[in-house]
Amino acid sequence: MSLAKADEGMGLHKAAVILLSLLSVLLVLAFGADWLLRTDHFPVRHVRFEGVFKQVTQKELEIAVVDVVRGNFFLLNLEAVKARVESLPWVYQAAVRRQWPQDVHVRFTEQQLAARWGDGAFLNQAGDVVRVTLKEPTAAYSQLQGPEGTGPQVLEYYRKLGQILAVVGLKLENITLTPRRVWRLELADGMVIVLDRDQPEYKLERFARVYAQTLRHQAGGIAQADLRYANGFAVQPTAARSAGHQDAPGRADTIETGRTGAANKG
């Protein structure tokens, strides 16, 4: 046998040994993976919950996930666990991860209620509509209303417009966005302010400046201020409301803030 053929034979032998070794390793890994991933092997032992427990209870969380944490630790559907936790009305968000060797860790945050919404619901910190049961009276929350799907917008304007009024000592309590997109603001002193969709922040800032300069002394005597004008606004005294004209213009004092012309609705 020539030297070249001997070397070739040795090379084939080594290749065969390497191939068999690789196949053996793959078989071991396959059997090992099959053993690890069997339902009765490596079951989830504990589910640990982390968060501030004010409205949500440990028992509620356990009941919510009990059906989806059974089975193999490695095959656990983390998204399913997350969805179950977030399905609880008082849970705002949840994050789920495996915790070696066989535990599941769930971190959650509760809903932070910002205001009452419509008939019996609430808005959370993001403006989402949530339906929860409060242990304390709901009167502490302002009442916000608006067409379906406008929760985030109404909450945003409640905050923005409330800040404008607070600068001049007025407190915004309730706010309504009508289907015709008219803003109705109810203040703590009983005054109602009406705004349209055209530059509501600018018009309210204009009103606040005039209020601080000339109307503050009438605090409590203004029933309604209609700000739906291009260069001014109309003020309705409380007497007009008591005479049965709460929603009608009644007798109103028109205050012009523009340089020229009468105050006209924009």
Grouped pLDDT means (10 residues each) for the chain, 266 residues: 55 65 56 49 88 95 94 90 96 94 94 93 95 83 95 97 97 97 96 95 96 85 92 85 48 59 47
Q: Tell me what pLDDT residue 140 has.
A: 86
* Predicted local distance difference test score (pLDDT) of residue 8: 58
Are the C-beta atoms of 98 and 73 separated by less than 8 Å? yes
The pLDDT of residue 12 is 64
Cα 227–Cα 230–Cα 236 angle in degrees, nearest 5: 30
- Separation of alpha carbons 28 and 118, rounded Å: 63
pLDDT for residue 265 = 59
3-class secondary-structure state, position 51: coil
**Which CATH superfamily is 46-110 part of?**
membrane protein fhac (3.10.20.310)
DSSP symbols for 203-235: HHHHHHHHIIIIIGGGTTSEEEEE--SSSEEEE
Exposed/middle/buried for 109, CB within 10 Å: 0-12, 13-18, 19+?
middle
Contacting residues for 158 by C-beta, under 8 A, at least 6 apart: 115, 142, 144, 172, 175
CA distance 223 to 245: 10
- CATH architecture classification, 115-256: 3-Layer(aba) Sandwich (3.40)
